[in-house]
Amino acid sequence: MATSARVTLADVAKAAQVDVSLVSRVLRGESVRVREETRQRILEQASMLGYRPNAIARSLRSARAGAYGLVIPDFTNPVYAHIISGAEEAAAARGSVVMTSTGSGWDPAAWYDAVDGGRVDGLLVAGGPTLDMSRLAVPYVLVNRAVPGGRRYVVLDDARASRMAVDHLIGLGHSRIVFLGGPDDADTAQRRRAGFEAALRDAGLDVPEVRLNGDYSAAGGREAMASALRAGPAFTAVVAANVPSALGAMEALREAGVEIPADVSLIAVHDAEIAEYVSPALTTVKMPLHELGARAIDLLARTPADEPIEEVVAQPMELTIRASTGPAPR
Amino acid sequence: MATSARVTLADVAKAAQVDVSLVSRVLRGESVRVREETRQRILEQASMLGYRPNAIARSLRSARAGAYGLVIPDFTNPVYAHIISGAEEAAAARGSVVMTSTGSGWDPAAWYDAVDGGRVDGLLVAGGPTLDMSRLAVPYVLVNRAVPGGRRYVVLDDARASRMAVDHLIGLGHSRIVFLGGPDDADTAQRRRAGFEAALRDAGLDVPEVRLNGDYSAAGGREAMASALRAGPAFTAVVAANVPSALGAMEALREAGVEIPADVSLIAVHDAEIAEYVSPALTTVKMPLHELGARAIDLLARTPADEPIEEVVAQPMELTIRASTGPAPR
DNA sequence: CTGAAAGCGCTTACAG
DNA sequence: CTGAAAGCGCTTACAG
């Protein structure tokens, strides 16, 4: 640990009695015609001295960071964990991906500088505060968010997820279905609601007038459901915009003595490990978050910085039937 | 977005008709005596040109990265989110903190190079595979893990957390209490078990022979609890080593028709938002994860790289009583 | 108060 | 097959 000064290319070159440029080429495995004997000597000395390339110097010279940035608003939300793993997998061949958050004590000005200072070759922005991407010189892709101004984004097929949820409920005989939405300023929430309403209309059902507005949080879901119940539950099934709000709704239903799924069926968009461990276990539509992260890196790496990106990742999306949905009560 | 070539210090210097060195000093706010008029001209040109310092060049020259690394094994575990927020808060004044994971497709060799290439001034390692830190030149601190070889770590007072859980149960009249442990090779799990057993002994109670060995996961907790129930439940209360295993145990108890807390009380070490939204809501001992992350950055930044660090973060630790614990059945 | 120069550790044409 | 040189964009003594 930091026992001696760092060993540099020059140290290896001196030990192997060659020029630094040759060491550089050999160590990077560049296709260079070099005498086998010399190559061995270089490799040997590098290993003996414990040489490790200075990524900073390399980056400065080559103008490539060898890393992508991924901005996360909130690490407590497991949704991001799956996006991260997809991004890492896709980036593995090209370099690493480093995560930063816009959470506690986030300073926008410092952030723009930090992120745009050449430390990353590109930036994935997943949720969080609306950033002015035009201030940045580094190429970016917005993940799971299609904002009007942002011309480069990858989103999920939110509408289709809602539709799958509705179809499942209709298949169980439900006709009075409400939507427990997310925050209206989140475009994902808007698309999920739109998909929900379209699915009802396509099935010839009325879109209920009652609107449950949550905010994607458990507390918000609980509150929205509680007030809907006070108004008198004119529904037999609920599609929740995400898992946390479904858990909150479940709590409110339980407190009101409403049985799930005997009285009311509940299904959520998105999956989460926890869905399996609540009671009753929560039926969900699992979204391709891993694929979303992977695709975002792919696009970031391959698309010229001045070209727009408008991509929808639709596959695979899977209905995971658990215990919270059942036949409509008569 | 990448419309023009990056603007450098030289560009600003030329526009302001001064030397780059002066621009550098003024822009960094270095206490330099400079004519006010010149200063204004420099600031103005920098802003007009949209100058943003190249962090890479700065790092190379100053041998400071201005960033700390934080290695996370698994972003789906919300425990890490709290460590992250603490670390970010503590690092804010000194620079940023970037997270990387040892998850999907993690390549150790590439990792050692990437992390040790000068991109970070120090490294926090929270859980995950056992890394050979002696291979690294960069200073590090192990977070929440006290391994024999590692001479630099910050941990929580796991034993005390277990003790608080046991004391709570004893206060409710329980005397037959079992421990649903974590993986035996995790030192946190060992300390939690040790604290559990010590607390029982101090209270004059027998340490039960039955050992429930989970693996910190919901599936593991469920399985361990199920097999304990098959053997005949000789206990009225359970201390779970973490929240996920408690949720699994809850599921197994439910399946076996055991009422919580009427038949068996359940309490978990660590807290999580989800604890509030399961039924019954889970009583927990909340650990100071945020403080752990903050303290780790502090120590990393202030301790010379060759000095050992052995620190325990004990405060604040809080019993959060919810619905899963109650009086012992008679 | 301001400038000129050296150099951080690499990579990359250019020579020979 | 190998070397010498330039230069990435900064910071930091050293001058004056």
**B272 lies in a domain?**
yes
pLDDT of B299 strictly over 90: yes
Query: pLDDT tier at A5 (50, 70, 90 boundaries)?
Result: low
Mean pLDDT over A291-302 rounds to 96
The whole-number average pLDDT for the span A181-187 is: 91
Q: Please, which pLDDT band fits residue B33 given cuts at 50, 70 and 90?
A: confident
Does A299 map to a domain?
yes
- Eight-class DSSP state of B130: P
The CA-atom distances, in angstroms, between B28 and each of B9, B52, B67 are 12, 11, 17
Burial group, residue B65, by CB count within 10 angstroms (0-12, 13-18, 19+): buried
State the Rg of chain A over Cα.
26
B295 and B152 assigned to the same domain: yes
Q: How crowded is residue B156: how many other Cβ atoms within 10 Å of its Cβ?
A: 23
Number of domains in chain A: 3
A232 and A178: one domain? yes
Residues A219, A205 share a domain: yes
Do the Cβ atoms of A101 and B82 come within 8 Å?
Answer: no
Q: Same domain for B100 and B145? A: yes
CATH of the domain at A100: 3.40.50.2300
Does B131 reside within a domain?
Answer: yes
Residue B169 shares a structural domain with residue B151: no
List CB contacts (< 8 A) between B275 and chain A. Answer: none
pLDDT at B210: 82
In a domain, B2, yes or no: no
Q: Are residues A34 and A92 in the same domain?
A: no
For residues A230-258, give the mean pLDDT. Answer: 92
Predicted confidence at residue A2, as pLDDT, reads 39
Residues B92 and B240 reside in one and the same domain: no
A272: confidence class by pLDDT, cuts 50, 70, 90 = confident
Given B105, B139, B140, which is nearest A88 (Cβ)? Answer: B105
DSSP string computed for B49-107: HT----HHHHHHHHT--SEEEEEES-TTSHHHHHHHHHHHHHHTTT-EEEEEES-TT--
Contacts of B104 in chain A (CB under 8 A): 85, 88-89
pLDDT reported for residue A74: 85
Mean pLDDT computed over every residue of chain B: 90
* Same-domain status, B164 and B272: yes
Footprint of strand D on the protein (CB under 7 A): A 17-22, 32-35, 37-39, 57, 60-61, 63; B 6, 8-10, 20-21, 24-25, 27-28, 30, 51, 53-54, 57-58, 60-62
Domain shared by A167 and A219, yes or no: yes
User: What is the CATH classification number for the domain harbouring B37?
Assistant: 1.10.260.40
* Rounded average pLDDT over B83-109: 87
Average pLDDT, integer, range A99-107:
82
pLDDT-derived band at A149 (thresholds 50, 70, 90) equals low
Indicate whether A318 belongs to any domain. Answer: no
Look up the protein residue whose alpha carbon has the minimum distance to the C1' of D2.
A22
CB A241 within 8 A of CB A180: yes
Say whether B105 and A92 touch across the interface (CB within 8 A).
yes
Residues on chain A touching B96 (C-beta within 8 angstroms): 100, 110, 114
Using 50, 70 and 90 to split pLDDT, how confident is the model at B113? confident
- Domain span at residue B40? 9-53
Q: Is residue B149 part of a domain?
A: yes
Q: Are residues B168 and B231 in the same domain?
A: yes
How far is CA B40 from its chain centroid?
45
The answer, yes or no, to whether residue B3 has pLDDT greater than 70, is: no
- Judgement on whether residues B35 and B113 belong to the same structural domain of the protein: no
**Chain B environment of A58 (Cβ under 8 Å):** 117
**What pLDDT does A117 receive?**
87
Q: Is residue A268 part of a domain?
A: yes
How would residue B112 be classed by pLDDT, with cut points 50, 70 and 90? confident
Measured between its terminal Cα atoms, the distance across chain A in Å is 71
pLDDT(A290) > 90: yes
Q: Is the pLDDT of residue B24 over 90?
A: yes
CA nearest to nucleotide D8 C1': residue: A61
User: Within a domain: residue A101?
Assistant: yes
Find the mean pLDDT for residues A67-84: 91
A28, A76, A136, A141, best to mutate vs chain B, most B CBs in 10 Å: A76
User: CB distance B55–A114 less than 8 Å?
Assistant: yes
Report the half-sphere exposure of B171 (CA within 13 A, side-chain side).
9
Residue contact A2–B137, C-beta within 8 A = yes
Q: Are residues A137 and A191 in the same domain?
A: no
Do B118 and A57 count as a contact with CB atoms less than 8 A apart?
yes
Comparing B113 with B143, the larger pLDDT belongs to B143
- At A78, the pLDDT band (50, 70, 90 cuts) reads confident
Lowest pLDDT segment from A5-9, A241-245, A278-282:
A5-9
What pLDDT is attached to residue B150? Answer: 66
Question: Is the minimum distance from the CB of A55 to strand C below 7 Å?
Answer: no
Place of tokens 């449950």: A212
